[in-house]
Amino acid sequence: MYTYNYLFDFTRNVFMKMGCSEHDSEIIAEVFLAAELRDHASHGMIRIKDYYELWKAGRINVKPNVRIVHESPSTAVVDGDNAVGMVPARRSMEIAIEKAEKAGTGWVATRNSNHFGIAGYYSMMALKHDMIGICLTNANPLVSPTFSISRMMGTNPIAVSIPTRKQPSFVADFATTPIARGKLAVAEKKGEKVAFGFVQDRTGKPSDDPTILKSGGSMLTLGGDRVHGSHKGYCLSAIVDIFSAVFSGANFGPFVPPSVAYLPVLEKKVGKGTGHFFGAMRIDAFQPADEFKAKMDEWIETFRSAKPAEGQERVLIPGDPEREAEERIRRDGIKLVPAIKDDLIAIANELKIKFE
């Protein structure tokens, strides 16, 4: 078990050694650790190696000039200058919040960025300003549209955070696929099959093989198949892709650059880097903040009191599992599996810093 502070300091030091500023390195560490605390380890310390390898391959800019390239009273487009994704992402959400202070709402599309960690981190930044926060991002293509076998989209997540008064905040943060890619890797390691509805083979036939991506298969959109509404998951994923990439001038769909160095840079580009989209809505642009937050408490209390199905203990509110995980992990510490620990030790050795 590791403490939050130990892993935070280590992560900050890794990125400072790579040449990032102390300020940027602290932001990056904060987002990686937020994933660990919220029990989304797939977006946490495991990804430090990916960034380290991208940096060694000269594919990441550690001295970026993140800047607004276009704006209106309630909108902006930000160019991330090929930075570590957390840096332009956090700045973009700050701009959305600044815009919302004046115009009621703020909307920022970001191009030329890279993998930014968990979307929920950015949507949650709005909460302390009494704002609703929204965050979308596209990602490297693994997912096929309905009726297709081509990998055209990422797992393109949607995060929405809504402030409350006494109840915990409403925080939804989910991929527009039935499962995250990491769950396929877990099943593969255990030698298990997965449920039908997650992946298909190279011909479009439903599959329960978690390794199918390696033989030309692809992931399916939320809904799984056409009968169960996969075309709605396709719509959602497409909307996330367009808002993230077409609004900003980033690469869309199949042209989103890989977030790992062992995959080559794509030959064809239709924009710059990876794209994100951020929104901030001041709640008192709609209702007096106190009234709104009291009403959200009532909404949450109403849904929490829904009757559980037979065999279920309780009905959850979006954000409950992650908040409960965070309480537990802050108390007990962060666990890293041996393979990740070994990777971090190897990185530490190369950078001449310490990790144990």
Residues between 59 and 98 that touch a copy of itself (CB under 8 A): 70-75, 77
Single out the residue of 207, 157, 150, 149 nearest to residue 182, CA to CA: 157
The one-letter amino acid code at 148 reads S
- Applying CB under 8 A, does 200 fall inside the site for a copy of itself? yes
Between CA 92 and CA 44, with CA 171 as vertex, the angle to 5 degrees is 65
Least separation in angstroms between residue 228's CB and a copy of itself is 5
Single out the residue of 86, 139, 155, 110 nearest to residue 278, CA to CA: 110
Binding part of the chain for a copy of itself, among 59-67, 140-148, 336-344, 347-355 by CB under 8 A, reads 140-148
Chosen residue from 56, 295, 328, 335 binding a copy of itself by CB under 8 A: 295
C-alpha–C-alpha distance, residues 176 and 155, integer Å: 6
| Touching a copy of itself, residues 306-345 (CB under 8 A) | 306-312, 314-316, 318
| Touching a copy of itself, residues 164-183 (CB under 8 A) | 170, 172, 174-179
Chosen residue from 253, 258, 273, 275 binding a copy of itself by CB under 8 A: 253
* Residues 323, 326, 331, 335, Cα dihedral to 10°: 150
> With respect to a copy of itself, which residue has the nearer C-beta, 89 or 281?
281
| Touching a copy of itself, residues 10-69 (CB under 8 A) | none
Distance of CA 330 to the CA centre of its chain: 21
- Applying CB under 8 A, does 156 fall inside the site for a copy of itself? no
Least separation in angstroms between residue 86's CB and a copy of itself is 22
> With respect to a copy of itself, which residue has the nearer C-beta, 72 or 349?
72
> With respect to a copy of itself, which residue has the nearer C-beta, 121 or 170?
170
Single out the residue of 297, 300, 316, 318 nearest to residue 308, CA to CA: 316
DSSP string, 242-299: IIIIITTT---GGGPPPSSTTSPPPS--SSSSEEEEEEEEEGGGTS-HHHHHHHHHHH
Chosen residue from 18, 124, 222, 261 binding a copy of itself by CB under 8 A: 222
Chosen residue from 59, 228, 323, 341 binding a copy of itself by CB under 8 A: 228
- Applying CB under 8 A, does 147 fall inside the site for a copy of itself? yes
Q: How many residues bind a copy of itself (CB under 8 A)?
A: 87
- Applying CB under 8 A, does 301 fall inside the site for a copy of itself? no
The one-letter amino acid code at 120 reads G
Label residue 35 exposed, middle or buried (CB < 10 Å: 0-12, 13-18, 19+): buried
| Touching a copy of itself, residues 104-123 (CB under 8 A) | 104-105, 107, 109
- Read off the tokens for 99: 């815009």
> With respect to a copy of itself, which residue has the nearer C-beta, 63 or 205?
205
Tokens 């990439």 identify what position? 245
> With respect to a copy of itself, which residue has the nearer C-beta, 294 or 351?
294
- Read off the tokens for 17: 């050694």
- Applying CB under 8 A, does 247 fall inside the site for a copy of itself? yes
